[in-house]
């Protein structure tokens, strides 16, 4: 299975102010899955961004990083207003599912204990996996796992999650090296997000944003051919 690389127009868990311009710069790479947070840009610019992405036939992800239930619900309503394809993140699963039930939007919440901003994942691997099973039983479309924001055995965490659930697993946050891209792809996750590391040019230090994305896509492609 080819893992889906989701390029996030975000830096430090906030959507970059020039997200529309960034997309225009990188769209020729062919990157299919793109996303943003619901913080950092006013709603009018978010609508313009989504309209631009729709015209280019991209799959659109909105990631929720808000900590309170009120803010999570507000984010879910924003996802409906923007008509994105995926709502990922957030921890208030039941009320979010209730809001999304009449829509086509796929919901992939965080699991485990998520704290702070930027978000960190805490809890034992067993606790996180059990939480994932409970969330799957509620009817979500997938899991958004903060694997590289975890302070334990990351490989074991990802492997345990893939064994625990029968729905897609997205690894989000702090994928900032070819080694991590290669690892999540080899482990077989459905998708992974990268934002800040692209803007920091972690993959091709002297290259453009397009060079960063192309380099990551090449790693994923090589993993598929093995």
Phi, psi for residue 203 in degrees, rounded to 5: -95, -40
| Residue 123 to residue 115: CA distance in whole angstroms | 11
The bridge status of strand 4-8 relative to strand 143-145 is unpaired
- Tokens linked to 84: 């994105």
Please report the pLDDT score of residue 58 as a whole number. Answer: 98
- Tokens linked to 177: 């090296």
Helices 154-164 and 125-138 pack at an angle, to 10 degrees, of 30
- Tokens linked to 225: 């051919």
| Residue 173 to residue 176: CA distance in whole angstroms | 9
Q: Concatenate the DSSP letters of all residues of 115-184 into one string.
A: ETTTTEEES-HHHHHHHHHHHHHHT-S-EEE-GGGBSS-HHHHHHHHHHH-SS-EEE-S---SHHHHHHH
What does the angle CA 41 – CA 176 – CA 183 come to, to the nearest 5 degrees? 125
| Dihedral sign (CA 221, 37, 91, 66) | positive
Q: Order of strands, edge to edge, in the sheet holding 4-8?
A: 106-108, 86-89, 59-64, 33-37, 4-8, 191-194, 169-171, 143-145
Please report the pLDDT score of residue 173 as a whole number. Answer: 85
Cα–Cα separations (whole angstroms), residue 3 to 73, 75, 89, 117, 167: 29, 26, 18, 26, 14
Contact 154, 176 (CB under 8 A): no
First vs last C-alpha separation in the chain: 11
Nearest 10 degrees: Cα torsion 110, 111, 113, 119: -30
Please report the pLDDT score of residue 102 as a whole number. Answer: 92
pLDDT by residue, tens only, the chain of 226 residues = 689 999 999 998 899 999 999 999 999 999 999 999 989 999 999 999 999 999 999 999 999 988 889 999 999 999 999 999 999 999 999 999 999 999 999 999 999 998 877 778 999 999 999 999 999 999 999 999 999 999 999 999 999 999 999 999 999 989 999 999 999 999 999 999 999 999 999 999 999 999 999 999 999 998 765 5
Q: Which of 53, 1, 3 is nearest to 175 (CA)?
A: 3
Domains within the chain, CATH numbers bracketed: 4-225 (3.20.20.70)
């Amino acid at each position: 299975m080819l893992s889906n690389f989701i390029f996030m127009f975000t830096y430090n868990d906030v959507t970059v102010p020039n997200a529309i311009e960034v997309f225009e710069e990188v769209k020729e790479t062919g990157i299919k899955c793109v996303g943003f947070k619901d913080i950092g840009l006013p709603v009018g610019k978010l609508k313009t961004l989504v309209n631009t992405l729709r015209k280019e036939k991209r799959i659109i992800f909105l990631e929720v990083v808000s900590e309170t239930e009120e803010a999570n619900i507000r984010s879910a309503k924003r996802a409906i207003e923007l008509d994105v394809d995926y709502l990922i993140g957030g921890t208030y699963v039941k009320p979010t599912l209730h809001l999304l039930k009449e829509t086509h939007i796929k919901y992939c919440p965080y699991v485990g204990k998520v704290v702070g901003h930027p978000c960190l994942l805490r809890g034992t691997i067993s606790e996180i996996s059990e939480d994932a099973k409970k969330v799957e039983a509620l009817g979500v479309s997938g899991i958004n796992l903060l694997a590289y924001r975890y302070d334990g055995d990351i490989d074991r965490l990802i492997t345990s999650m893939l064994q625990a659930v029968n729905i897609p697993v997205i690894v989000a946050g702090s994928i900032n090296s070819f080694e991590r891209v290669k690892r999540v792809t080899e482990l077989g996750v459905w998708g992974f997000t990268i934002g800040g590391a692209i803007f920091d040019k972690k993959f091709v230090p002297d290259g453009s944003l397009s060079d960063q994305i192309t380099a990551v896509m090449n790693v994923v492609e090589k993993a598929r051919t093995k």
